[in-house]
Amino acid sequence: MTDKLRLGLDINGEPKDLLVDGYKTLLEVLREDARLTGTKHGCELGECGACAVLLDGEPVLSCLVLGAECQGRHVTTVEGLTENGRLHPLQECFADLGAAQCGYCTPGILVTAKALLDRDPSPSRASIQEALAGNLCRCTGYLQIFEAVEAAAKKMAQAATSAASSDRESSR
Ligand code: FES
Ligand code: FES
């Protein structure tokens, strides 16, 4: 019999209280205990980026993090990118520009790109390449991925500008 651990953490804005095996990685906790299978299981060696999630807003490879290390912390998975049932602009642009083919790498790339746009809303192509250097994709050749991140950054900037101008209008 293995020792179980009570693990309290926030996943995608919802508090969770899970009883998990103490040896499990965050990837296993997410997929097997929280039943969130959007995060993909790839190499389990920290080499492919398929398992990337955000831990307190920063990208981590969930296959290299023990679930027990996440006590009390905030985890964001690809399932947490939608807001009120609306896709995140990154998800829309990935779909529109063919940046996802088989899609296995896509959840890890989306959350990593989200962390980049959160800290740099208008990243250069070089910054996007650097941020995604640990996320392997065997299908797209990467160009569509970089273009989709750039398109999402523009879309988010336009949305912020129109929200600011409608705020100004309504305060007149
Ligand atoms: S499954 Fe974690 S880096 Fe490949
Ligand atoms: S879309 Fe298939 S691995 Fe990236």
C-beta of residue 61 within 8 angstroms of C-beta of residue 49? yes
Q: What is the pLDDT of residue 168?
A: 80
CA of residue 61 to ligand 1 center, whole Å: 6
Q: What span, in angstroms and rounded, lies between the C-alpha atoms of 41 and 71?
A: 22
CA of residue 101 to ligand 2 center, whole Å: 5
Asked if pLDDT for residue 1 goes beyond 70, the answer is no
Task: Give the residue extent of every domain in the chain.
Answer: 4-80, 89-164
Q: Shortest CA distance to 20 belongs to which of 65, 77, 76?
A: 65
Beta strand segments in 13-111, E: 14-21, 52-55, 58-61, 74-76
User: Is the shortest distance between the CB of 137 and ligand 2 below 6 Å?
Assistant: yes
Q: What is the pLDDT of residue 119?
A: 97
Adjacency order of strands within the sheet including 74-76 = 14-21, 4-11, 74-76, 52-55, 58-61
CA of residue 40 to ligand 2 center, whole Å: 11
Asked if pLDDT for residue 52 goes beyond 80, the answer is yes
For residue 14, list its beta bridge partners: 11
Count of positions (residues) in the chain: 172
Residues 78-109: pLDDT tens digits?
999 998 899 999 999 999 999 999 999 999 99
User: Is the shortest distance between the CB of 105 and ligand 2 below 6 Å?
Assistant: yes
| Ligand 1-lining residues (CB < 6 angstroms) | 41-44, 46-51, 61, 63
Q: What is the pLDDT of residue 21?
A: 97
Domain 89-164 is classified in which CATH homologous superfamily?
[2Fe-2S]-binding domain (1.10.150.120)
Residues 3-50: pLDDT tens digits?
899 999 999 999 999 999 999 999 999 999 999 999 999 999 999 999
Q: What span, in angstroms and rounded, lies between the C-alpha atoms of 124 and 159?
A: 19
Architecture of domain 4-80: Roll (3.10)
User: Is the shortest distance between the CB of 101 and ligand 2 below 6 Å?
Assistant: yes
Q: What is the pLDDT of residue 167?
A: 80
Pocket probe for ligand 1: among 43, 105, 109, the residue whose CB has the most ligand atoms within 8 Å is 43
Q: What is the mean pLDDT of residues 134-142?
A: 97
Q: What is the pLDDT of residue 2?
A: 65
Residues 58-68: pLDDT tens digits?
999 999 999 99
Beta carbons within 10 angstroms of residue 139's beta carbon: 16
